[in-house]
Structure 1
Amino acid sequence: MNQGPSIYGYTNYRLFLADYYQFRKESKRGYSFRQFSQAAGFSAPNVLKLVMDGQRNISGPSLEKFIQALGLTSGPAEYFRCLVAMNQADTDQERAQHYEKLKRLTPSSRRYELESDAVEYLSHWIYPVLREMALLDGFRDDPYWIQRRLNGRIELKEIVAALNFLKKKGFIHKRPDGQFAVKDDIVITSDEVKSLAVRTFHRRILEQAMEALEDLPLDQREFGALIFQLPETALPELKARLKNFRKELHQWALEQNEATEDKAVVQLNLQMFPQTKGSDS
């Protein structure tokens, strides 16, 4: 008998609850929010709806009641506890810890649903930098060669681990002619996981920018700041202009790449610094 959707793979417990409720409605005529409350031992008939709609969180005493009403036991029950904790955590550090636990609790056959490969890719600046380096003429998948070409502070063992990860997961692969090709579709679809991964990535890049401020000479970097007044109603347009500026720069960079073989991997946060050194360094 089908007991409803599996909890594994979900990164938002409210979506799981909505899918569970829809399943019960379709499989049992007359199933209602009141029936769920009765099964959980709640006096209020609409607790599930309030939680599903984001109007209420699941507090400590209520968590086990939800697990009981959902019919979760053992591994699925522990996954649900961890998922609730991740979604309701106050800091990214806590969310990341719970996400790591979710990966451990998920059966290996379903782990791809957590998009852990894409999250790992954004966890350190070295992954996207190595991906871009793989397209450089003369690139060598030799950790010592890579370390000599990098500007960022990084240990050899980190390069080895990153290179192995990118190859194993298909982010880069060597063609028959010996050149490297890269994976184009690096996509994270879960909003919960995407927001955590992207914020973690930007935090790592900001840390690296601080190192670049100390390590690189002035002629190799550009750090600037602009403070000005702007109506609050114009903030969306400012954001759109910055996005368009990034697109224009990206297109310009693609055009420049067609004209020369001597290339460097560059990081731009509206602080600019080269991630790699010149071929004659």
Structure 2
Amino acid sequence: MKPIIEYIDFRQYMRDFYDERKRRSAFTWREFSRIAGFSSSAYMKVVCDGASKLSKIGVERVGAAMGLEGFELDYFRAMVRYGQADTEEKKKAAYEDMLAVAKQYKVRVLSGDLFEYYDSWRNPVLRELAPLMPGATPGEIAKKIYVETSAQEVRESLDFLTKTGLLKKKDDGTLVQSESSVKGATDATRLALRGMHRQMSELATPALDLPKEERNFSGVTMGVSRESYARIVDVLNECRKKIIAIAGEENNVEQVYRVNLQLFPLTRNLRENENA
């Protein structure tokens, strides 16, 4: 069974614990529920199936039943809060607690680096900008960014990017990208990506004041069905892929740009009440 730090889903961890015990003995859901102190013989299975939540007392009981203690129990507590959070803010705070536990005990959380990467708009900007300015100081790099940025913020971001290998320092001190693109697919990185989209949308507003030769804004308000929405999403995805391909062929980069492809509802579904 993998170490608990490699998990993000507490239910999956409980399931794997159960499967591991069952392989070695005649372990049952009834037994699992009993040693965790629950009267319902199926309670642990109900929780693992996502049909019930763990209370604070339940978290302690289940942690003890699985033999967790120390930082592993701290991580499990945070993982349960993450899995049961009802708002994005609570979910993000819980995941940051998971990372903090891992960092304190010098254990790396799966996808933790990507979460931190997407948590600030400066990281992807500097990952593109720094290699274009060999030998530049953090202060000189900061002056090239439209949004007010300090040399210390640049330095901290570059330290993170090099520490995680998202940027590599050559023998002559210049920085290069280790990969042409960064991708994240876990639930945790998707959570950070939502925050990234918010930040980038906010950065788009002041860009409206730039000369029209340097920026391009357009939009359309329209009525669609679910079927046409899906077709439009396919077109946007194809457009994004073509844009990435064009950028990937560039050998004479002059600036760092951001493309936001946004398609979102302005009204509620008119047929929701009809189907109720």
TM exceeding 0.5: yes
Aligned equivalents of 2:14, 2:247: Cα separation in 1: 46
Shift of residue 107, structure 1, vs aligned partner? 6.2
Unpaired runs of at least 5, structure 1: 272-281
Aligned equivalents of 2:114, 2:107: Cα separation in 1: 12
* TM-score, normalisation: structure 2: 0.84
Which deviates the most, 13-22 or 77-86?
A: 77-86
Q: How many residues align?
A: 261
Distance 1:55 1:179, change over 3 A: same
Paired amino acid for 2:254: K
Between the two structures, name the one with larger relative contact order (CA 8 Å, sep ≥ 6).
Answer: 1
Aligned equivalents of 1:41, 1:223: Cα separation in 2: 60
Instruction: Kindly report which structure 2 residues correspond to 1:2-81, keeping only aligned pairs within 5 A, or say none.
Output: 6-28=3-25, 30-81=26-77
Aligned equivalents of 2:80, 2:161: Cα separation in 1: 31
Is contact 1:134-1:182 (8 Å) kept?
Answer: no
Task: Show the counterpart of 1:274.
Answer: none
Task: Show the counterpart of 2:257.
Answer: 266
Aligned equivalents of 1:262, 1:194: Cα separation in 2: 28
SS of 1:55's partner is: coil
Shift of residue 32, structure 1, vs aligned partner? 0.6
Which deviates the most, 119-128 or 231-240?
A: 231-240
Task: Show the counterpart of 2:223.
Answer: 229
Shift of residue 206, structure 1, vs aligned partner? 1.6
Aligned equivalents of 1:134, 1:155: Cα separation in 2: 14
Question: Are 1:212 and 2:207 matched, yes or no?
Answer: yes
Distance 1:252 1:221, change over 3 A: same
Select 1:241's aligned residue among 205, 226, 235: 235
Shift of residue 33, structure 1, vs aligned partner? 0.4
Aligned equivalents of 1:143, 1:5: Cα separation in 2: 40
Aligned equivalents of 2:2, 2:261: Cα separation in 1: 44
Shift of residue 156, structure 1, vs aligned partner? 2.2
Which deviates the most, 261-270 or 60-69?
A: 60-69
C-alpha offsets along residues 68-117 of structure 1, whole Å, 9 cap, x if unaligned?
32222333222211110111112222222222221222266763233322
Question: Are 1:153 and 2:144 matched, yes or no?
Answer: no
Is contact 1:134-1:172 (8 Å) kept?
Answer: no
Which deviates the most, 122-131 or 178-187?
A: 178-187
Task: Show the counterpart of 1:278.
Answer: none
Paired amino acid for 1:171: L
SS of 1:202's partner is: helix
Question: Are 1:162 and 2:153 matched, yes or no?
Answer: no
Select 1:94's aligned residue among 75, 90, 100: 90
Over the matched positions of the two proteins, sequence identity in percent amounts to 30
Aligned equivalents of 1:64, 1:167: Cα separation in 2: 38
C-alpha offsets along residues 6-32 of structure 1, whole Å, 9 cap, x if unaligned?
42232110110111011110111x211
* TM-score, normalisation: structure 1: 0.83
CA RMSD of aligned residues (A): 2.4
Is contact 2:102-2:108 (8 Å) kept?
Answer: no
